[in-house]
Amino acid sequence: MVGNSSKLIQDRKIIKKIKDGKFKIAIYGLGHVGAPLAAVWLRAGAHVIGVDNSESVLTEARKGKTIIPEPNVNEAFRKGIDTGRFELYDDAITASRDSYFKMICVPVLSQDQELSANLTAVSDVATMIGRGLKKNDLVSLNPSVPPGTTEEIVIPIIEKESGLSVKSDFCMIYNPERIYEGRAITDIENNYPAILSSLGPNSSQLAYTIYSLIFKKGVLILKSIRTAEAEKLFEGVYRDVNIALANELAKFCEVAGIDFWQARDAANSQPYCHIHKAGIGVGGACIPVYPQFVLDVANKMNVLCEVTNISRSINNGMPAYCVRQAIKLLKFSDLPEAKISILGLAFRGEVSDTRLSPTYAVITELQRFGVKDIRIHDPFVSSDPNLLNYDNVLLTSDLKKAIKNSDLIILSTDHKEYKKLGKKFIGNIPVYDGRGLLDKNSVNKLKILTIGQGDIKIS
């Protein structure tokens, strides 16, 4: 964007206001997305109001702590509290009154592991923001949402509650978060450009100026909010479809006597080939969810999204498929008596997030076969209320305890710690490696079955 001199003066004024702490930014929802975003604004010198409906989230934040283990967030929170630039509110309307810029970072995923969007929290927060909204305020919606959500749901709520109009009185921005858990701050500050689309007076220019302050990779402004909403979903669909392709090829390799991992490495040495990793399942609050948002909208419009649909079902079927492969490693046929250890509950390596983790489907499948003794190890997850839904499942951070006297180990999450597991530790326990993580030379070759490799000879 090229600006004239009056625009430059206006830009400088806003940036000065943000850095002087006069342009207060309210972040609604201090979770995986909101906490790092609050931290990034604090690191940029802004005055941040954190809003959350969880008392424990607010209590920890007041002590300068986030409940999300994300590098550098605690430091930013602590410094913000010490300098008086970070305030925590439980009153969402007052937070709206006291701030100029409001960012909605609450979840759109229902608690019951359904993949369709649940916009209750977004609508609740939009209502509260609307009740405290002032002329010339800015509101940004940040979660990934079905296309149409900002214009058809959020703006009407804010307009109704505030009596103001987006055409003349306030700015509405859609800005999808594009972070990868575990490196969220770096992602926002250094790795990706911000994607924005907006409505309202002078809104693109304002949004561009404000977001340029924290996104070093720049800001991409899209003409329509619907397109920006779809962009974020496409990132997830692309990943899901490509993982499904990898899973399909891995299953083919298993029957055809081909090493998927070697073939993949070789194929990817060509610049137009990007075969993803095969795995026991796709979890987390993003990749399995966004294709479903696309499919839900497509269904309403009678549009077929066949590749997206079939990919979802391939990936959904992976935990059950892998369990069927894994139990072939058991020496005896009395499956209900087997002691089975699962390595990893988090949905992917090096994080504690268990949302929609494939490990849950692995447990369900094992229990369907009648397995009564299941132990789960995860170095990042010490407790998990979801496990109360399953009988006879033990969760431990003690790896030795998890695999003691085990008849079978199923590696479900690619935590780095598991890569180092060697013969001495595992001994003769057979291992199903659902992530292609283990080095066959460091464990008992005859006792390991890796997804995508069908060459096991069970002794």
Q: Does 86 bind ligand NAD (CB under 6 A)?
A: no
**Of these, 14, 18, 26, 30, which contacts ligand NAD (CB under 6 A)?**
30
Q: Does 32 bind ligand NAD (CB under 6 A)?
A: yes
Region binding ligand NAD by CB under 6 A among candidate stretches 19-27, 31-39, 195-203, 432-440: 31-39
Q: Does 106 bind ligand NAD (CB under 6 A)?
A: yes
Q: How far is the CB of 428 from ligand NAD (least distance, A)?
A: 39
Q: Does 177 bind ligand NAD (CB under 6 A)?
A: yes
Region binding ligand NAD by CB under 6 A among candidate stretches 45-53, 269-277, 300-308, 436-444: 45-53
Tokens encoding 284: 């987390």
Q: How far is the CB of 42 from ligand NAD (least distance, A)?
A: 17
Q: Does 294 bind ligand NAD (CB under 6 A)?
A: no
316, 268 in Cβ contact below 8 A? no
Compute the half-sphere exposure of residue 7: CA atoms within 13 Å on the CB side of its CA: 12
**Is 121 or 438 the residue whose CB approaches ligand NAD more closely?**
121
Q: Does 376 bind ligand NAD (CB under 6 A)?
A: no
Nearest to 320 by CA among 287, 355, 363, 286: 363
Region binding ligand NAD by CB under 6 A among candidate stretches 25-33, 76-84, 199-207, 388-396: 25-33
Compute the half-sphere exposure of residue 195: CA atoms within 13 Å on the CB side of its CA: 25
What is the number of other CB atoms lying within 10 angstroms of the CB of residue 403?
21
**Is 234 or 261 the residue whose CB approaches ligand NAD more closely?**
234
Q: Does 323 bind ligand NAD (CB under 6 A)?
A: no
- Report d(CA 166, CA 339) in Å as an integer: 60
Tokens encoding 269: 């040495």
**Of these, 26, 95, 157, 179, which contacts ligand NAD (CB under 6 A)?**
179
**Is 110 or 442 the residue whose CB approaches ligand NAD more closely?**
110
Q: Does 125 bind ligand NAD (CB under 6 A)?
A: yes
Q: Does 187 bind ligand NAD (CB under 6 A)?
A: no
One symbol per residue from 129 to 168: x for binding ligand NAD (CB under 6 A), - otherwise; what is it?
Answer: --------------xx------------------------
Q: How far is the CB of 368 from ligand NAD (least distance, A)?
A: 29
Nearest to 190 by CA among 166, 212, 215, 165: 215
Q: How far is the CB of 31 from ligand NAD (least distance, A)?
A: 2
CA 256 from chain center: how many Å? 35
375, 396 in Cβ contact below 8 A? yes
Q: How far is the CB of 303 from ligand NAD (least distance, A)?
A: 22
Q: Does 124 bind ligand NAD (CB under 6 A)?
A: yes
Which residues, including other chains, have CB under 8 Å from residue 320's CB and lie 6 or more apart?
Answer: 361, 365
Nearest to 90 by CA among 45, 26, 43: 26
311, 291 in Cβ contact below 8 A? yes
**Of these, 14, 34, 139, 282, which contacts ligand NAD (CB under 6 A)?**
34
Strand 86-89: give its sheet, edge to edge. Answer: 86-89, 48-51, 25-28, 101-104, 138-141, 171-174, 194-199, 219-221
Tokens encoding 115: 């993949």
CA 180 from chain center: how many Å? 7
Q: Does 230 bind ligand NAD (CB under 6 A)?
A: no
Region binding ligand NAD by CB under 6 A among candidate stretches 24-32, 160-168, 238-246, 321-329: 24-32
Sign of CA dihedral 113, 192, 25, 152: negative
**Of these, 181, 240, 384, 433, which contacts ligand NAD (CB under 6 A)?**
181
Compute the half-sphere exposure of residue 30: CA atoms within 13 Å on the CB side of its CA: 36
Reading phi first (left if > 0) and then psi (alpha if -120 to 50, else beta), residue 16 is in: alpha
**Of these, 10, 17, 44, 53, which contacts ligand NAD (CB under 6 A)?**
53
From residue 205, alpha-carbon distances to 202, 212, 360 in Å are 6, 11, 46
Region binding ligand NAD by CB under 6 A among candidate stretches 2-10, 22-30, 243-251, 434-442: 22-30
**Of these, 26, 57, 61, 340, which contacts ligand NAD (CB under 6 A)?**
57
- Report d(CA 90, CA 128) in Å as an integer: 11
Q: How far is the CB of 188 from ligand NAD (least distance, A)?
A: 11
- How many chain residues interact with ligand NAD (CB under 6 A)? 27
Residues making contact with ligand NAD (CB under 6 A): 28-34, 51-54, 57, 105-109, 121, 124-125, 143-144, 177, 179, 181, 285-286
